[in-house]
Amino acid sequence: MEKKHQINVWYAVAAVFLLLTFQSWWTAYKTIEPIPYSQFEQYLKDRKIAEIAIKDNTIEGKFREPQDGKEYFITTRVDLPLAEQLTQYDVKFTGVIQSTFLRDLLSWIIPVLFFFGLWMFFIRRIAEKQGFGGMMTVGKSKAKVYVERDIKVSFKDVAGVDEAKRELQELVDFLQDPENYGRLGARVPKGILLVGPPGTGKTLLARAVAGEAGVAFFSISGSEFVEMFVGVGAARVRDLFEQARKAAPAIIFIDELDALGRARGANPMIANDEKEQTLNQLLAELDGFDPSVGIILLAATNRPEILDPALLRAGRFDRQVLVDRPDRSGRRAILDVHVKKIKLAPGTDLDQVAQITAGFSGADLATLVNEAALLATRADAKAVNLSHFTEAVERVVAGLEKRSRVLNDKERRTVAHHEMGHALVAANLTGVDPVHKVSIIPRGVGALGYTMQRPTEDRFLLTTEDLEHRMTVLMGGRAAEQLMFGEISTGASDDIERATEIAREMVMRYGMDDKLGNRVYAAPRQSFLNQPMGDVTDASQETAREIDLAVKERVEAAFRRAVDILTQHRKELEAGAALLLKQEVLTADDFPAIRPQTRRAAAE
């Protein structure tokens, strides 16, 4: 119900209290004089009482003439043969049946009203948290509205996505000066879709646009449109655009658009008319509003492939802006933004931090800086230095150290040779990322040790040789176990899985097998978040068998190459494993044999 039509319970409670106050005031206004019963009898004898009213516990009456300025009196009733005395002294008297209706009524109505009000209060609080807020308000938009002074984010707070910022700068120019921007007949895009993996700064970019333009910012998640009631989502879409028209110029930002804009009819086994009605209303609003009034629609998703094609056609979301993971220079720019909030030690080389964080998103880098600051605080350091960043990278990538996980001597020797096998194979292959650190300290859920490599540059193209070398490095741990102990363990399970994945990619997606030819056998990649290989498509059973054999042969070939390399460097393997067992952590400075061949040759 609308507020103006609601019957507020507190009004009734206030009225009852006013009534009681008036009654008390009226009683006091009568100026009743309380007197003892003995005094009452004396007044009777003196014939000063004109009339009385006898109640259950009291006797009220009126004097013939005011006594001490009082016209009325009251006294406590005492059960005595009173009637004869009243008649004897010529006093008019009567019996009064005292009404207890109001007292009885208030004795139960006030508690009822109190508990009813308490119940209504909690029901409304629960309803608001569940997204209802009253039966007549379910169709209201739940968008959070930020006015100009609420937006503290600008483009200088967003780093590592310069191309996306240049695309969105047009929106700011249009919102600040729409007449000049359209002087040549150009119009701003109706909708802009920010596409990219999670944590790359899509929401931050949208808020930066609003902060730069200084306009109202309506922010809502795609999942907040849909409720259990049919038609609620469509009503909320209408209300959202109506609010934006009233506040124009404004920016509407819909986060996680895939929750609202999933392709209709994609799964015929699942029917949800409510979601389709909501999407239809959004499409209608996109067709109906004129961007020249100063309303810009932004949306973000990391799954653009599942969006309805009608949503992405020209005239609706007619521009897509990729917000990808940053490259090395972008990571450095992002680190520069986040280290402003911490105390950084002089001389800390953030280029090295950017170098060892390949593949990190903006959110990952923010977490990394915070972890480094926490580690420095825990170590009682005066500032955050490079060692804290390195340890934070290890913690983010490999997990928390598990020094309480005690291994027996045989397991420690196996892990030490396993990790040294990875490091030596990487050091003796060209085009492989150099080894940064080798450790046999258990981390995370199941990692008993790890070998960290530091990329020298971001790679966007990989050759057949590059992929084969990566597989060889992965198989180096198992090759070392086989070479030194004559048996293998379960420690290489993750290595084998990753090597098999690379081999399948080479055979099924990249066309790098001579027998199977230049053809793709894998299903298309599904999303930024998950990129499953999928089943073999459009291939016979014989071809599927050939694919399995080709994958197996490539993994086995990588294993044989790793064995050959470690056989040639068996002395370094034994010495490195012994030193690793002693120190638990090694770098290239501690054991030069794990330094890449080219660098060793240059040093010599």
As annotated, the binding site includes 196-203, 418, 422, 495
For residues 452 and 435, the answer to whether their CB atoms sit within 8 Å is yes
How far apart, in whole angstroms, are the C-alpha atoms of residue 424 and residue 29?
Answer: 104
The residues facing 53 across adjacent strands are 60, 94
| In 152-306, alpha helices (H) | 162-176, 178-181, 202-213, 232-247, 273-288
Q: State the CB neighbour count (10 A cutoff) for residue 189.
A: 19
Backbone angles phi, psi at 57, to 5 degrees: -120, -10
Gap between the Cα atoms of 243 and 250, Å rounded: 10
The number of beta carbons lying within 10 Å of the beta carbon of residue 207 is 23
Label residues 501-520 b or e (16+ Cβ within 10 Å = b).
ebbbbbbbbbebbeebeeee
Give the strand pairing for 191-195 and 295-301: parallel
What are the residues facing 73 on neighbouring strands? 33, 61
Q: Which residue has the tokens 């004089």?
A: 33
Cβ neighbours for 483, distance < 8 A, ≥ 6 positions apart: 421, 563, 566, 567, 570, 573
Cβ-contact 476, 422 below 8 angstroms: yes
SS (H, E, C) 37-61: HHHHHHHHHCCCEEEEEECCCEEEE
Nearest alpha-carbon partner for 202 in 285, 258, 141: 258
**Which tokens go with 181?**
């921007």
Q: How far apart are CA 468 and CA 384, in angstroms?
A: 39
Pairing status of strand 435-439 against strand 585-586? antiparallel
C-beta of residue 481 within 8 angstroms of C-beta of residue 421: yes
CB–CB of 565/424 below 8 Å? yes
CA–CA separation, 562 and 428 (whole Å):
10
* Distance in angstroms (rounded) separating the CA atoms of residues 39 and 61: 13
CB 193 within 8 A of CB 320: yes
Contacts of 435 (CB under 8 A, 6+ apart): 422, 423, 426, 427, 451, 452, 453, 454, 588, 594, 595
Enumerate the active-site residues. 419
Q: Phi, psi (5° rounding) for residue 451?
A: -120, 115
The 3-state secondary structure of 481-532 reads HHHHHCCCCHHHHHHHHHHHHHHHHHHHCCCCCCCCCCCCCCCCCCCCCCCC
Query: Which residue positions form the known binding site for ATP?
Result: 196-203
Distance of alpha carbon 235 from alpha carbon 248, whole angstroms = 20
Lateral strand order in the sheet of 435-439: 450-453, 435-439, 585-586
